[in-house]
Structure 1
Amino acid sequence: MRNLQLSLNQTQKIRLQTALEKLESLSSKSNSNSCVTVADSIPIYEDGILKGHGTSDRKGELVATVCGVVERINKLIYVRTLRSRYKPETGDIVIGRVIEVAPKRWKLEGLFAVERGWNRSFEELSNVYSGERKSAPGSTASPPMRRRTAVDELNMRSIFTENDLVCAEVRSSQNDGSLQLQARSQKYGKLEKGQLLMIDPYLVKRRKQHFHHLEQYGIDLILGCNGFVWVGEHVEARDTIVVNDSEQLAKKSGGTSMDLDEQVENHTPPETRQNICRIANAIRVLSALGFNVILEVITETVKLSNTMNLDIHEMLGSEFYVLVAEKEAERRSSLSKRKK
């Protein structure tokens, strides 16, 4: 709940404090044996353990040097901090903005919301899916990639240009602190018709699925591991993202009719825009309260606003923050009871 400034009346303050205390007690019960603060002793159950990050040997006793949760992997013991900077890992889904079209690559900036030492990355032309060849029908394998030519390099701006928002996957990290990205399938690429949100990266947990299609709202939701979240109109996967010269000339020669077609295609219905804003405000509320931003909690928050018939701007009011905190406390309490 850092940087949360709300004008709460006395009743709302009591309700919010009660909900947060309940959440804290549920969290402490579930992690009673693993939560530590600075200088706390970490129990050792076997010999030959390896001291990892956040631990130190003090007079033969293993103590914690940071606040967090004790994690054990075989004989390795380390402390995972609760609030930490984003550390890129291979396979992470991230979102960034193109600042330069360089030879055979695009340079992205502002990739990470907190870790400013990793705010430069690049995406090579050879690592971008072009869609020229398709996989066999019914196959889930990614389409094969062809070798890029000088013509592809000349047409790089037809794929991504300056100020474009791009969703990609972390391929590797470089010694200078930059990252190498890749977009080898149709689910990656340029993001349009939506909102970009910046939240603390530790609120986005690594999961098997970071791409979500909310069918009931017609919305695509991308939870970037770097703390960038995209909420936009649902877009069907396209066969190609590379436009050749002949197609560009055909569009230019189409005249006014082509322009009208493009305007119709780029139009976003008002209902979809409202859904985008409603889901974005739900994420803002969850982020301000310090709750994990996961699909289940987001949808429950949106349903709560619809049930109460709240306008989009009313979701950022003090009362709704309190209601969301109480709802999350009830959800976690029911989950803990089910486990028992």
Structure 2
Amino acid sequence: MSRGIYIYIILACVFFSCRKKVEVEYIYNPTYVTLEVPDNFPPLEIPQENPLTEEGILLGRHLFWDTKLSGDNSLACASCHLPQHAFSDPNPLSIGVNGHLGKRNAMVLQNLAWTNEFLWDGSVLSLEEQIILPVLDSTEMNETWKNFFRKIENNELYNRLFYNAFQTFNPDSTHAAKAIAQFIRTMVSSNSKYDKVLRNEAIFSPDESAGFDSFNSLTGGDCFHCHGGILGTDLSYKNNGLDQFPVDSGRGLVTGIATDNFRFKVPSIRNIEYSAPYMHDGRFEDLDQVINFYSLEIHASSPNIDPLMEFSQQGGVQLDPQERMELKAFLLTLSDQEFINNPKFSNPH
């Protein structure tokens, strides 16, 4: 090899090595983030062990959309929690990497910074813990965290993101879960027409106003007991009389208390327009079916039916077609297009 070629190769290696170092910066100087939430929302409690940082949120966003978290590299968290569906799944039951169906309908991901119990049965007590589980579940993503980190060990982007977020070159599932949890906690929905009406920035139409009154009336839709308040849920567990002979024991499987059998978490009705199908098993395809159920189809003899289902003996609240239309009009004011189209939540890959 001639001396000139040898020198060229050395210079080329130095050049590309230097360029690589410029492109991939490893800087641990976290920028702490304070979520901006409306004054009428409850106080926000972020875990002290996992404060929000720009670096953690960015890493979490990349992980949330990464299909390498699944065993066959086909599914990401976002595969079953799609933005256009309020970060839920349009299928009644989600389909895992092996074609297996999940046990229950995928819940929406919104305003979870105000939630301390997760899943339909409340079996998980932190968002970080909840994030760990689907990756390992054979019916969902069917992967191990160890193998995921093996997949990305030479990925310069992830090496930088993990270091900048957590000052580590040896991340594990705890770091990944913390990052995804930070990202999900930024998913705040608070700018629907309903919110704008509360802020005196908009007014309801006559039908929306009538539906709002019905929602909050004991002699109307009577929805406010469970879905009142700014979050659209009281975060409790209830049996709403879906079945005369229910099969899924719900909350009772977690607590072992007989009176908790067949109870499920009350879901938020924010963005309900986007989050079909409905109920823990995804049985109702559209909002009309939901309203019809509460009007006419409640099973009063369902075991452990909640006392707040006050009109169950007559099958429901007996809304007529006009009243059902008005209630639906109000529920559609809970749609937050800014939330489902927020570019900060989109795929960064």
Normalised to the residue count of structure 1, the TM-score between the two structures is 0.22
Greater fraction of residues in helix = 2
Greater fraction of residues in strand = 1
Normalised to the residue count of structure 2, the TM-score between the two structures is 0.22
